[in-house]
Amino acid sequence: MNPNTGEWLPDASASPSHATGNHVAMTVMATIFFMWGFITALNDVLIPHLKSVFTLSYTEVMLVQFTFFGAYFLMSLPSGKVVSRFGYRRSIIIGLIVTGIGALLFLPAASLQTYSLFLFAFFVLASGITLLQVAANPYVSLLGTSRRASSRLNLVQALNSLGTTIAPKLGGLLILSAAVLGSAELARLPAAQQAAYKLQQAHLVQGPYLGIAVVLFALAGVVWLFHLPPVAGGDARGGDPQHTFMDALAHRRVWLGMLAIFVYVGAEVSIGSFMVNYLSLPQIGHISEASAAGYVSLYWGGAMLGRFLGWLLLKRVDTRKLLAVNAAVAALLVATTMLTLGHVALWSVVAIGLFNSIMFPNIFTLGIEKFGPLTGKVSSLLVMAIVGGAIIPLAQGALADHIGLHHAFVLPMFCYLYIIFYGLKGSRAA
């Protein structure tokens, strides 16, 4: 292994075993990426469900995403310290266990019908995923040559998108398929029937999250038994302890990369979070929430398809140019859905997922590019910026309450405009 670059050297005796170990490690990582994608997209189903059960405004229900992605901001630096102390493998195990505990917390939250306990469960769940993000993203980037880092990360992110594609459809069947009463209909029921209805609706989330917890704990066991091959670029613990976060923040490119992650995740999450309610509007799709959940699957499915295509394209196409082009098309699609109605508005917002696809892995790999022993610290800061998924949906919720959901999509459009700048210029900053 080259101690300066952190890449495996082509040693004749070691190369085959290293290659095999890397392939197995990529399989394990892909499974983990799939699970956290599944969990994250399931929020898009729970948001309209909890809005109905607890009779919440758009701003109030967006506290789900505010809490979930706020955990990235609060827990990313502690997660970086965990990775530095325990290394990638043990950190991934810890992250899986914490995420599993968060999933189990949905059971008492549903039984007690307490919105605040649901929010706490989201926070614990996201804290575990934050640690997985801090450990797994740079691990995959460093698991081979730097030239193919974006391609590798696009591949495992494609499996992440497979999880986000399946979750809304499955969640729609398990959670949204039961008849949901409107607030006026519910108000006409006697108090005892209202309480029974809300309990029945709340209990619909228990089965899916119990299953998630079981799978996460099983994955933790698999990673414990399987010895991940070491990487460097920092060191096997994920960074040089002699370097600090302030050392990383001294680089302008880190700040610009953090902002790019912030606005990208914010736009992607905001669009997915509002899509069920948006497509249900009479002037857009005029369909049920359960049917709308199927379109959310198409939105995330587009991201999956785009990442598989990105995995192939990035072997030949410049990472920065592809990022800028995708962001430009996404901005045009957001403008289209705001300026039209009916099927044009519906399909233009769904199609954004295809062009979202390569943005996160490309921004991330450009963000940690050539930082050597600072890689672990920069990774933690980039993951911290995922808090955009908390701030931007909440801001769009406030806009929707004041100017209507249709035109509130102006906020994600501005996010994509910044990503065009980052792809063309910001990612090249000193």
**Which of 107, 329, 125 has the alpha carbon at shortest distance from 207?**
107
Using an 8 Å Cβ cutoff, are 142 and 231 in contact?
yes
**Is 395 in a helix, a strand, or coil?**
helix
Tokens of 260: 């790019």
pLDDT at 51: 81
**Is 224 in a helix, a strand, or coil?**
helix
Tokens of 85: 């102390």
Whose tokens are 């740079």? That residue is 138
Report the alpha-carbon distance of residue 381 to residue 368 in Å, rounded: 10
Using an 8 Å Cβ cutoff, are 39 and 269 in contact?
no
Q: Has residue 7 been placed in a domain? A: no
Whose tokens are 């070491």? That residue is 230
Q: What percent of the chain lies above the pLDDT cut of 70?
A: 84
- Tell me how many degrees the CA angle 118-267-414 measures, rounded to the nearest 5: 145
Q: Has residue 182 been placed in a domain? A: yes
Is the pLDDT reported for residue 5 higher than 70? Answer: no
Q: Has residue 6 been placed in a domain? A: no
Q: Has residue 288 been placed in a domain? A: yes
What contacts 24, CB < 8 A, 6 or more positions away? 226
pLDDT at 14: 41
What is the signed CA dihedral for 333, 334, 335, 336, rounded to 10 degrees?
Answer: 50
Give tens-digit pLDDT for 129-184: 999 988 887 788 777 666 676 677 777 877 887 887 888 778 777 776 554 555 55
Q: Has residue 211 been placed in a domain? A: yes
Is the pLDDT reported for residue 194 higher than 80? Answer: no
Domain count, the chain: 1
Q: Has residue 2 been placed in a domain? A: no
Q: Has residue 4 been placed in a domain? A: no
- CB contact burial 9-40 (16+ within 10 A = b; e otherwise): eeeeeeeeebeebbeebbebbbbbbbbbbbbb
Q: By residue range, what is the domain housing residue 269?
A: 15-428
Q: Which residue has the higher pLDDT, 421 or 144?
A: 421
Tokens of 66: 């505010």
Instruction: Count helices and strands (H / E) in the chain.
Output: 18, 0
Give tens-digit pLDDT for 343-391: 999 999 999 999 998 898 889 888 887 777 777 778 888 888 988 988 9
Compute the average pLDDT of residues 210-218: 93
Report the alpha-carbon distance of residue 62 to residue 270 in Å, rounded: 9
Which letter does DSSP use for residue 373 in this model? G
Supply the pTM of this predicted model. Answer: 0.73
Q: What is the residue-wise DSSP string for 299-337?
A: HHHHHHHHHHHHHHHTTTS-HHHHHHHHHHHHHHHHHHH
Q: Which residue has the higher pLDDT, 77 or 185?
A: 77
Tokens of 400: 């929707």
pLDDT at 99: 96
Q: What CATH number has the domain bearing residue 302?
A: 1.20.1250.20
Q: Has residue 3 been placed in a domain? A: no
